[in-house]
A and B are shown apart, each in its own frame.
Chain A
Amino acid sequence: MSANVDVSAHRRAVEFADGVFWVGALDPTLRSFDIILTTANGTTYNSYLVKGSDGVAVIDTVKENFSDEFFARLESEVDYGDIKVIVLNHLEPDHSGALPELMRRAPQARLYISQRATSMLKALLHAEDGLKYTTVKTGDTVSLGDRTLEFLHTPFLHWPDTQCTFLREEGVLFSGDVFGCHYCDKRLFNDLVGDFRFSFDYYYAHIMRPFKRHVLDALKLIEPLQLRQIAPTHGPILRERPRRYVTHYRELSTSALSRGIGDDDQSMIVFYMSSYGNTARMAEAISEGAGDVGGVRVSLYDLQGGETEPFVDLIEEADALLFGSPTINGDAVKPVWDLLSSLAVVNLKGKLGAAFGSYGWSGEAVRMIEDRMRGLKMHIPTPGVRVKLIPTEAELEECRAFGRQIAEALVGKSQKKDVIEFADLA
């Protein structure tokens, strides 16, 4: 393999294993991807071609406005009539953009996608009828004669539809966005390009991190493979020591913080902001009450004294999250919203949530925070506590009871009535 690869100098397919070609496109000037990611040196849309004795497979396509480059590279190696199989590992538009045109040019080709991809395919192509596709799952294969493509069902990396495709004979894993990064380099291969470690980790942190549990499930399928190369849909092809990227994914998918508390303890974090000390007093009372319940470790944080990023790491590891905010001009205060709007990179599904706060005359903040937590798929076991201005001793006792109640819900010791009447629910 030549050491002076420069794919920007031509529009031909680039062979990187026997009969396996890169036919993607470079996007070096892109500076923001999908709004949420910055891309300091652009990205690539990687598409691949596998030639077998009984037909050709195209694996993933490119963003629509890069179709010309993709088709030119494809045409440099195969005729459209030879394409038997099209695999889309992930249907996001940067990989499916050239699909409608490819299907028009190769109408005989069969499309292989995951079951979850079907509704997305219909929404992307707006062609309910006449779409020829086969849905595949782990263990399903498609033959190209002397070549076999094997599918791995790896959902939620990072969409519900995602899958990986393994070319057995060459040990090439077409991994979709997994092991990808936004890093554009005309030298294409991990042993030739510049230092892309930051881009690799940044991509993981923003795209894969919310789905850590699913990454670990996928790694169980990927780790036993006899991997020789990993061919992701963005960034360098990982041909040198591909397994170290698999190992790195496992490291990245284990806790950002090593748990400082016993594995048997549940972690409850109480965040608050307070302008006159009233919400702070409530936070302390709630923490006190929760601390009375065995098996719960409570941490109290004033949002004024912290930065968002470490709090996000903390939140990812916690089992219950409480937010206290005063109500100012009918709203919760900005630091609370700043933190609550920075949580898209972690998975909060099913964590317990609760809100509390002191207020002057209307007290909307508590319900607004609860709604946001529900939106984050958290579970709110009990409505929050609101106190008008300075809490009395009786109200602080109510806060302690509230803390105890959340902690008991966390360890599954809630006191319950036999049957509740629907009309009695708040």
Chain B
Amino acid sequence: MAKAKITFEDIEQTVNVPAGTRVIEVSEKIGAGIIYGCREGDCGTCMMHVEEGWNNLTEPSVLEEKVLKENMAGRHDRLACQAQILGDCKVKPA
């Protein structure tokens, strides 16, 4: 199975994960500082900033785009409960 490395910048920790894993699954287990609310892509609480590897996450859905816009997300901000890891990337809480 394809693997990818995600680095949580706030705790300076890298995890080797199967490609397709959602960021939420890793960040909660590792104790990274991204905070979750509804966990279903509606509230915008888990907004994270992608420092590196923006293109190595799945494309945001139309619904995620809408929530990002409503929450005035910056460029390269994503919802950690929605984004799946496809390749190496580095993230931190937005």
Say yes or no: is B71 at the interface (Cβ < 8 Å to chain A).
Answer: yes
Q: Given the complex, which residues of A lie within 8 Å of B12, measured CB to CB?
A: 416
Q: Which of A377, A409, A420, A422 contacts B37 (CB 8 A)?
A: A377
Q: Once bound together, how far apart are the Cα atoms of A380 and B36, in whole Å?
A: 12
Q: Once bound together, how far apart are the Cα atoms of A418 and B7, in whole Å?
A: 10
B31–A374 touching, CB < 8 Å: no
Q: How many A-B contacts at CB < 8 Å in the complex? A: 56
For chain B, residues 1 to 46, give those with C-beta under 8 angstroms from any C-beta of chain A: 5, 11-18, 21, 26, 28-33, 35-37, 45
Q: Once bound together, how far apart are the Cα atoms of A379 and B80, in whole Å?
A: 15
B36–A116 touching, CB < 8 Å: no
A422–B72 touching, CB < 8 Å: no
B69 to chain A, nearest CB (A): 8
Q: Once bound together, how far apart are the Cα atoms of A426 and B14, in whole Å?
A: 15
Q: Which of B11, B21, B36 contacts A422 (CB 8 A)?
A: B21
Say yes or no: is A350 at the interface (Cβ < 8 Å to chain B).
Answer: yes
A421–B71 touching, CB < 8 Å: no
How does the 8 Å CB contact mask read for A398-426 relative to B, with 1 for contact and 0 for none? 00000000000100001010111110011
How does the 8 Å CB contact mask read for B66-94 relative to A, with 1 for contact and 0 for none? 00001110000000000000000000010
Q: Given the complex, which residues of B lie within 8 Å of A421, measured CB to CB?
A: 15-16
B62 to chain A, nearest CB (A): 14
Q: Once bound together, how far apart are the Cα atoms of A160 and B71, in whole Å?
A: 9
A414–B11 touching, CB < 8 Å: yes
For B, the interface residue count at a CB cutoff of 8 angstroms equals: 25
Say yes or no: is A119 at the interface (Cβ < 8 Å to chain B).
Answer: yes
B5–A381 touching, CB < 8 Å: no
Q: Given the complex, which residues of B lie within 8 Å of A380, measured CB to CB?
A: 28, 31
Given A116-B71, A377-B45 in contact, is the A420-B33 Cβ separation under 8 Å?
no
Interface of chain A: mostly helix, strand, loop or mixed: loop
Task: Tell me the nearest residue of chain A to B43, going by C-beta.
Answer: A160
B15–A425 touching, CB < 8 Å: yes
Q: Given the complex, which residues of A lie within 8 Å of B21, measured CB to CB?
A: 422
Given A377-B45, A416-B13, A419-B14 in contact, is the A425-B33 Cβ separation under 8 Å?
no
Q: Given the complex, which residues of B lie within 8 Å of A419, measured CB to CB?
A: 5, 14-16
Q: Once bound together, how far apart are the Cα atoms of A409 and B30, in whole Å?
A: 12
Q: Given the complex, which residues of A lie within 8 Å of B11, measured CB to CB?
A: 381, 409, 414, 416
Residues of B within 8 A of A (CB): 5, 11-18, 21, 26, 28-33, 35-37, 45, 70-72, 93
> Which 9 interchain pairs have the tightest Cβ spacing?
A381-B31, A425-B29, A422-B17, A377-B35, A419-B14, A420-B15, A421-B16, A379-B33, A419-B16
Residues of A within 8 A of B (CB): 115-116, 118-119, 349-350, 374, 377, 379-382, 409, 414, 416, 418-422, 425-426
Q: A381-B11, A425-B30 are in contact. List 19 more A-B contacts (CB 8 A).
A: A115-B70, A379-B31, A380-B28, A380-B31, A416-B11, A416-B12, A416-B13, A419-B5, A419-B15, A420-B15, A421-B15, A421-B16, A422-B15, A422-B17, A422-B18, A422-B21, A422-B26, A422-B29, A425-B15
Q: 13 A-B contacts, Cβ less than 8 Å apart?
A: A350-B93, A377-B35, A377-B36, A377-B37, A379-B35, A382-B31, A418-B14, A419-B5, A420-B13, A422-B18, A422-B21, A422-B26, A426-B29
